[in-house]
Amino acid sequence: RLSMRSHRRGTKEMDIILGRFADDRLDGLAGEVLDRYEALLEENDQDLYLWVTGQAAAPEGFASLVGEIAGHATARARD
């Protein structure tokens, strides 16, 4: 369910960023981090995009996870 929600966002950019993150990392998330990821998916795509691209600061509760997603997106873009 979280994988599907990661791939089917409101914007193509977030489909790609979160979809790839879910493909590569979702199985490794557990407990509180998995709960935070699920809560993150409730946020709107415009805010998520600004946070992941560093154009706006992510809320404190999401900052670490957003940083992980941003790092993953950067690494995938280099591949």
- Asked if residue 35 has pLDDT above 80, the reply is yes
Mean local confidence (pLDDT), 22-36: 95
**Model pTM greater than 0.85?**
yes
* Residue 78 pLDDT level (bands cut at 50, 70, 90): confident
Q: Contact 3/15 with Cβ under 8 angstroms?
A: no
Gap between the Cα atoms of 14 and 8, Å rounded: 8
Report the mean per-residue pLDDT for the chain: 95
Q: H-type helices in 8-62, by residue range?
A: 12-25, 31-40, 45-52
Q: Which distant-in-sequence residues (6+ apart) come within 8 Å of 50 by Cβ? A: 56
CATH code that applies to domain 2-78: 1.10.150.250
User: What are the residue boundaries of the structural domains of the chain, listed by start?
Assistant: 2-78
The answer on pLDDT for 79 being more than 80 is no
What's the distance, Cα to Cα, between the start and end of the chain in Å? Answer: 27
Question: Confidence band (pLDDT; 50, 70, 90) for 40?
Answer: very high
